């Protein structure tokens, strides 16, 4: 079956998602200093045909844009003794596209907070044991990693968890974990809950708070705008 025959099987919503993924891929390549002008020209043509409702031509232009992008990535590779090997540009491209920066950071962050919890869990600051913010840091590290995996599972590339500001999330989560510990210890004291049960529950809540740090940021931002 030729390309146009295959295009008849592609729905408009699927093509829109395909165009969005292609756009993000082109952005990642451009930021890695890969020349994607030819691919971008065909992407623009595909987008125009999509807006006209011309699905077969949209599919053809989109397919050609991907072909030109593949050529551009191959051209950006280095020639080493007759072998085409990845250059710094192509490595940067794949790191951006698949969120490898975020994955590495999330793993390092989890290891750091794990070590801190092991060595300094009994240390207290103003009556708060440091395991509380450290458990929140572990939760936020897990959030970054699961976010990358979720993007890869749904989109085939990373959409949200590749920006540098996400590196600040684990640090911010430690503040949330500190505050949550104070709130829960006060609540447990008021209801005379056993110390062992309260400790395990507080650990879980601190971890969950860290995992929900991004959600908390959005809620607090909306609240500040309403005030």
Give the other-Cβ count within 10 Å of 58's Cβ.
25
Q: What distances in angstroms separate CA 136 from CA 40, 132, 166, one per listed residue?
A: 42, 6, 15
**Closest to 163 (Cα-Cα) out of 147, 177, 175, 142:** 147
CA dist 153 and 95 (Å) reads 16
Q: Which two tokens stand for residue 143?
A: 């959030």
Averaged over successive runs of 10 residues, the pLDDT of the chain (227 residues) comes to: 44 81 93 95 94 90 95 92 88 91 92 93 86 94 90 84 73 91 68 60 90 84 72
Segments forming the whole domain that contains residue 31: 3-80
87 belongs to a structural domain? no
Q: Are residues 13 and 58 in the same domain?
A: yes
Question: How many domains, in total, are found in the chain?
Answer: 2
93 belongs to a structural domain? no
86 belongs to a structural domain? no
221 belongs to a structural domain? yes
Q: What is the pLDDT of residue 8?
A: 46
**Closest to 31 (Cα-Cα) out of 91, 103, 100, 106:** 91
Q: Are residues 136 and 178 in the same domain?
A: yes
Q: Are residues 73 and 104 in the same domain?
A: no
Q: What is the pLDDT of residue 9?
A: 45
Q: Are residues 195 and 128 in the same domain?
A: yes
63 belongs to a structural domain? yes
Give the other-Cβ count within 10 Å of 160's Cβ.
15
> Who's near 147: CB < 8 A, 6+ residues apart?
102, 160, 161, 214
Q: Mind listing the pLDDT tens digit for each residue in 197-227? A: 577 888 898 999 999 988 888 887 777 776 6
90 belongs to a structural domain? no
Q: Are residues 61 and 130 in the same domain?
A: no
- Model-level pTM greater than 0.85? no
Q: Are residues 103 and 202 in the same domain?
A: yes
Q: Are residues 64 and 112 in the same domain?
A: no
**Closest to 85 (Cα-Cα) out of 93, 95, 74, 77:** 77
């Amino acid at each position: 079956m030729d390309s146009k025959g295959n295009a008849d099987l592609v729905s408009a919503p699927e093509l829109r998602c395909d165009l969005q993924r292609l756009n993000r891929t082109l952005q990642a390549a451009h930021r890695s200093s890969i020349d994607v002008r030819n691919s971008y020209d065909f992407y623009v043509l595909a987008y125009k045909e999509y807006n006209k409702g011309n699905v077969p031509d949209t599919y053809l232009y989109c397919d050609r844009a991907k072909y030109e992008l593949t050529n551009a990535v191959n051209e950006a590779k280095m020639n080493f003794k007759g072998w085409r090997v990845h250059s710094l540009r192509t490595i940067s491209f794949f790191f951006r596209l698949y969120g490898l920066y975020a994955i590495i950071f999330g793993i390092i962050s989890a290891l750091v907070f794990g070590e801190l919890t092991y060595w300094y869990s009994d240390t207290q600051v103003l009556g708060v044991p440091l395991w509380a913010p450290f458990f929140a840091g572990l939760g936020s590290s897990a959030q970054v990693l699961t976010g990358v995996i979720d993007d890869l599972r749904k989109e085939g590339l990373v959409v949200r968890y590749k920006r540098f500001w996400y590196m600040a999330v684990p640090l911010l989560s430690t503040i949330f974990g500190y505050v949550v510990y104070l709130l829960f210890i006060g609540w447990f004291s008021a209801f005379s809950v056993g110390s062992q049960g309260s400790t395990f529950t507080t650990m879980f809540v601190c971890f969950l708070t860290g995992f929900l740090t991004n959600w908390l940021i959005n809620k607090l931002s909306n609240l500040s705008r309403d005030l």
